[in-house]
């Protein structure tokens, strides 16, 4: 099987899928029985092309925090790709909350396979850069401090209920910055980076930076410290007055009144996560299907939507739906949302059909039908109740939509360990085989829904 060497320090090889259109798919129980329309999609989709986009998003840009410059760079990239493919591209702006971020650097260097963005406390020192030797004070009570930590950066195990007292003790002892370490979550979960709030600081301002790292970062910091002296630089930044964007694209001269089929994903990430699978995978699925479908005539309009600020509470898709007049809502036949469609986590062997109402609709029906034609039906779940992605915003107003995603067999709550963490990278969390299966399923379903115009009339 072909492997693709990725750039970067790790030099990781990602196995590339290598099946032909008529072949039985990996994990399928039988060969496919494809329509002419399905064959047109399956013959064209390329996991390798999607990977190029994913490298730009997750490695070139990295974390894409709603409303910040990082998300704007991703919107620029996505818009550029869609424009280059010949689509009419629109950016829909909306206001989002302030963000408080930090970056860690160290001497000797921190491991480069991990992202070192963290959250900063909005109530600690912001827009500052401090440098100092690291001291691990564990539980962070007064008794845990060595004689003098003046000018040092302290690692403290985070306990939400005590966080303000822990910071006050660090300040009293002369610490230069606080790095809060989250408790380990139960496997397969791992704690994300966070921006610790210190509400009592309205009366007593905290004069030093306070940051919250992810579980994976915690273990690497403690390992680095165990190996010897660790000198850390903590840079904090407040990002205020932010605007996030949805990126929308449809073919030029699309009809302004017929039916619309939507294919969507969110392109933002949580703090500290390069977002290769969540949701770089869904984003590049959209970009690759935009390339595949651009010259295939359809009777309905195919509209691609890349949502901003999903991780802040489905903000982009909610805003989009709120701005859509009822006549425009009525045009939408189905919304195919793709959130986490390529994890390489072994137990994520089931492709989930997730509906906010728990009921089947046009989107779930078409994907189930496409799965049957492609021979994948043993791998798909029954229609299962779950929101928590942008399909919810549409289903809340009665539009047929669903989210599609690879997860563990037993439950859609079984997400891969790198989820929302600095380890959500191509090397640690992307299967090109699963990405290709996802593109075939959604491409075939969306094209069938849109009414392929085929020579000779029908299949
Ligand atoms: Zn997501």
99 CA → ligand 1 middle, Å: 18
Distance CA 64, CA 80 (A): 17
List phi, psi (to 5°) of 236.
Answer: -115, 155
Task: Let me know whether 111 and 65 are in one domain.
Answer: no
Strand pairing class (99-107; 13-15): unpaired
* CA distances (Å), origin 121, targets 90, 191, 220, 300: 34, 17, 21, 48
335 CA → ligand 1 middle, Å: 16
Determine the pLDDT at residue 437: 96
430 CA → ligand 1 middle, Å: 14
Task: Let me know whether 320 and 390 are in one domain.
Answer: yes
CATH of the domain at 39: 3.40.630.10
311 CA → ligand 1 middle, Å: 7
Strand pairing class (210-212; 117-120): antiparallel
284 CA → ligand 1 middle, Å: 13
389 CA → ligand 1 middle, Å: 6
Q: Is residue 455 part of a domain?
A: no
Task: Let me know whether 125 and 220 are in one domain.
Answer: yes
426 CA → ligand 1 middle, Å: 15
Q: Is residue 458 part of a domain?
A: no
Helical (H) or strand (E) element with 153: strand 153-157
Task: Let me know whether 296 and 428 are in one domain.
Answer: yes
291 CA → ligand 1 middle, Å: 23
Determine the pLDDT at residue 253: 84
Task: Let me know whether 68 and 148 are in one domain.
Answer: no
Closest listed residue to residue 188, CA positions, set 423, 395, 446: 423
The tokens describing 198, both together, are 């210190």
Q: Is residue 402 part of a domain?
A: yes
Which residue range forms the structural domain that includes residue 174?
99-239
Domain boundary among 222, 239, 256: 239
309 CA → ligand 1 middle, Å: 10
Q: Is residue 257 part of a domain?
A: yes
Domain boundary among 193, 211, 239: 239
145 CA → ligand 1 middle, Å: 40
268 CA → ligand 1 middle, Å: 8
Whether 331 and 259 have beta carbons less than 8 Å apart is answered as yes
Task: Let me know whether 271 and 225 are in one domain.
Answer: no
395 CA → ligand 1 middle, Å: 17
Q: Is residue 456 part of a domain?
A: no
422 CA → ligand 1 middle, Å: 14
20 CA → ligand 1 middle, Å: 30
The tokens describing 69, both together, are 């410059």
Q: Is residue 300 part of a domain?
A: yes
Task: Let me know whether 175 and 287 are in one domain.
Answer: no
168 CA → ligand 1 middle, Å: 36
Domain boundary among 191, 211, 239: 239
243 φψ region: left (φ > 0), alpha (ψ -120 to 50), beta (else): beta
Closest listed residue to residue 236, CA positions, set 183, 182, 312, 177: 177
Task: Let me know whether 170 and 280 are in one domain.
Answer: no
26 CA → ligand 1 middle, Å: 25
Task: Let me know whether 223 and 285 are in one domain.
Answer: no
> For residue 54, with 0-12 CB atoms within 10 Å meaning exposed, 13-18 middle and 19 or more buried, which class applies?
buried
279 CA → ligand 1 middle, Å: 5
pTM of the model: 0.95
266 CA → ligand 1 middle, Å: 7
85 CA → ligand 1 middle, Å: 25
Determine the pLDDT at residue 454: 66
DSSP code of residue 182:
P
Task: Let me know whether 89 and 136 are in one domain.
Answer: no
Going residue by residue through the chain, which has 459 residues, state the pLDDT in tens, using 9 for 90 and above.
445 555 443 445 677 788 999 999 988 888 999 999 999 999 999 999 999 999 999 999 999 999 999 999 999 999 999 999 999 999 999 999 999 999 999 977 888 889 999 999 999 999 999 999 999 999 999 999 998 899 999 999 999 999 999 999 999 999 999 999 999 999 899 999 999 999 887 667 899 999 999 999 999 999 999 999 999 999 999 999 999 999 999 998 888 899 999 999 999 999 999 999 999 999 999 999 999 999 899 999 999 999 999 999 999 999 999 999 999 999 999 999 999 999 999 999 999 999 999 999 999 999 999 999 999 988 999 999 999 999 999 999 999 999 999 999 999 999 999 999 999 999 999 999 999 999 999 999 999 999 987 665 444
Whether 333 and 300 have beta carbons less than 8 Å apart is answered as yes
227 CA → ligand 1 middle, Å: 36
**CA 349 from centroid of its chain's CA atoms:** 19
User: What's the structural domain count of the chain?
Assistant: 2
Residues facing 90 on adjacent strands: 248
SS3 294: coil
218 CA → ligand 1 middle, Å: 23
Task: Let me know whether 159 and 256 are in one domain.
Answer: no
3-state helix/strand/coil string of 337-370: EECCCCCCCCCCCEEEEEECCCCCCHHHHHHHHH
Whether 212 and 193 have beta carbons less than 8 Å apart is answered as yes
Task: Let me know whether 109 and 21 are in one domain.
Answer: no
Q: Is residue 135 part of a domain?
A: yes
Residue 287 neighbours by CB under 8 Å, 6+ apart: 50, 53, 78, 81, 82
CATH of the domain at 200: 3.50.30.30
Q: Is residue 457 part of a domain?
A: no
Helical (H) or strand (E) element with 129: strand 129-136
167 CA → ligand 1 middle, Å: 32
Distance CA 295, CA 453 (A): 11
Distance CA 322, CA 333 (A): 17
């Amino acid at each position: 099987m072909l492997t693709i060497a990725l750039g970067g320090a790790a030099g990781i090889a990602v196995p590339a899928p290598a099946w032909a259109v008529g072949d039985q798919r990996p994990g399928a129980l039988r060969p496919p029985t494809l329509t002419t329309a399905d064959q047109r999609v399956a013959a064209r989709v390329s996991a390798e092309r999607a990977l190029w986009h994913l490298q730009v998003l997750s490695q070139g840009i990295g974390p894409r925090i709603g409303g910040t410059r990082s998300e704007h760079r991703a919107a620029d990239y996505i818009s550029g790709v869609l424009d280059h493919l010949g689509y009419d591209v629109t950016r829909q702006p909306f206001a989002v909350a302030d963000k408080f971020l930090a970056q860690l650097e160290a001497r000797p260097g921190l491991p480069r396979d991990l992202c070192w963005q963290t959250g900063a406390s909005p109530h600690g020192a912001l827009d500052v850069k401090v440098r100092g030797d690291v001291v691990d004070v564990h539980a962070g009570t007064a008794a845990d401090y060595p004689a003098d930590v003046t000018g040092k950066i302290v690692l403290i195990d985070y306990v939400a209920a005590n966080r303000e007292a822990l910071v006050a003790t660090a300040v009293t002892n002369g610490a230069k910055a606080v790095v809060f370490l989250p408790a380990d979550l139960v496997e397969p979960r791992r704690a994300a980076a966070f921006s610790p709030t210190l509400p009592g600081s309205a009366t007593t301002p905290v004069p030093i930076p306070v940051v919250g790292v992810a579980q994976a970062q915690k273990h690497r910091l403690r390992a680095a410290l165990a190996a010897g002296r660790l000198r850390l630089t903590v840079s904090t930044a407040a990002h205020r007055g932010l605007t996030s964007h949805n990126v929308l694209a449809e073919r030029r001269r699309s009809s302004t009144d017929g039916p619309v089929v939507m294919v969507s994903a969110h392109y933002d990430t949580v703090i500290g996560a390069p977002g290769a699978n969540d949701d770089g995978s869904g984003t590049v699925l959209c970009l690759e299907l935009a390339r595949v479908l651009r010259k295939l005539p359809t009777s309905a309009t195919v509209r691609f939507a890349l949502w901003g600020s999903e991780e802040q509470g489905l903000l982009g898709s909610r805003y989009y739906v709120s701005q859509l007049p009822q006549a425009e809502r009525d045009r939408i036949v189905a919304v195919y949302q793709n959130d986490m469609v390529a994890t390489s986590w072994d137990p994520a062997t089931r492709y989930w059909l997730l509906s906010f109402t728990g009921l089947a609709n046009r989107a779930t029906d078409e994907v189930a039908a496409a799965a049957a034609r492609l021979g994948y039906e043993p791998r798909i779940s029954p229609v299962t109740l779950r929101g928590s992605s942008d399909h919810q915003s549409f289903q809340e107003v009665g539009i047929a939509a669903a989210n599609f995603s690879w997860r563990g067999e037993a439950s859609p709550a079984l997400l891969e360990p790198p989820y929302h963490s600095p380890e959500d990278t191509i090397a640690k969390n992307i299967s090109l085989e699963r990405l290709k299966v996802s593109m075939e399923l959604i491409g075939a379903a969306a094209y069938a829904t849109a009414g392929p115009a085929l020579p000779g009339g029908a299949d």
